[in-house]
Structure 1
């Protein structure tokens, strides 16, 4: 099915990947999986720990930790930019998944003028199989009434 025909979309997201699920006429369809550029562990070969040379205490960490945090934030921003372009054509967006990624992407979308007229909902869920993802989106949109919006 062509993704341009969908008006309603489910986005399952965590910091590793996002799955786009289209909904139309009572059926949910897997559209695409987007892998995240965010690396969980950033450690160069031969790199030591983050303590300074003056103390082995990790409470006194070096600037290395700040640098790693900035790299991680830049990767997360790039990931969300990719998702923004994928979400643009849809009118109703359900964002669900474990962790904090769903709140982070929702907050970012709320800041963008291009998403002002779009309906965005957020739900908590665990990691799900592909069939469970499809059922989650299908059940949500079947039970959601237009008057609630």
Structure 2
């Protein structure tokens, strides 16, 4: 029986930590958004519509980078403190490459890497 590839992703709008659920020690892949707080502060002086369009474009690129990294997994848990996980799920829902994936979303607080690791172990132990 082939083992289902499982992945946990803790994410917010600035960074995503991707951790594959395996029997081996966890390897963490990090993907960062290019939209920094400093850039956002510089943009505040510009018109709101320009800021919103710039932010959407940068976030869409960020979500696509994560999507490229997860395309070979079958079961994914998205978790974290912000609405980024829901926005990312919406992007995945519009892409047919991800329609057969089992994706679940959980609201969590900010977590250390060890807490994220424990969360993923507990989540997949029950699923």
How high is the TM-score relative to the length of structure 1? 0.76
Where do 1:74-89 residues align within 5 Å? 74-89=57-72
Please tell me whether Structure 1 or Structure 2 has the larger radius of gyration of its CA atoms: 1
Note if contact 1:28-1:137 (Cα within 8 Å) is conserved in structure 2.
no
Q: 1:12 matched to which residue of 2?
A: 10
Q: Which portions of structure 1, spanning 4 or more consecutive aligned residues, are displaced by more than 3 angstroms?
A: none
3-state DSSP of counterpart to 2:60: helix
Q: Say whether 1:132 aligns with 2:118.
A: no
CA distance in 2, matches of 1:122, 1:94: 6
Q: 1:43 matched to which residue of 2?
A: 42
Using the TM superposition, give the Cα deviation of residue 69 of structure 1 relative to its aligned residue in structure 2, in angstroms: 1.0
CA distance in 1, matches of 2:60, 2:31: 14
Bigger share in helix: 2
- Which ranges in structure 2 are unaligned for 5 or more consecutive residues? none
Q: 1:91 matched to which residue of 2?
A: 74
- Superposed CA offset, 1:47-92 (max 9, x none): 8x56xxxxxxxxxxxxx11111111111011101101100101110
Using the TM superposition, give the Cα deviation of residue 28 of structure 1 relative to its aligned residue in structure 2, in angstroms: 6.2
How high is the TM-score relative to the length of structure 2? 0.88
1:114 to 71, 74, 97: 97
- Which ranges in structure 1 are unaligned for 5 or more consecutive residues? 51-63, 145-149
Note if contact 2:4-2:75 (Cα within 8 Å) is conserved in structure 1.
no
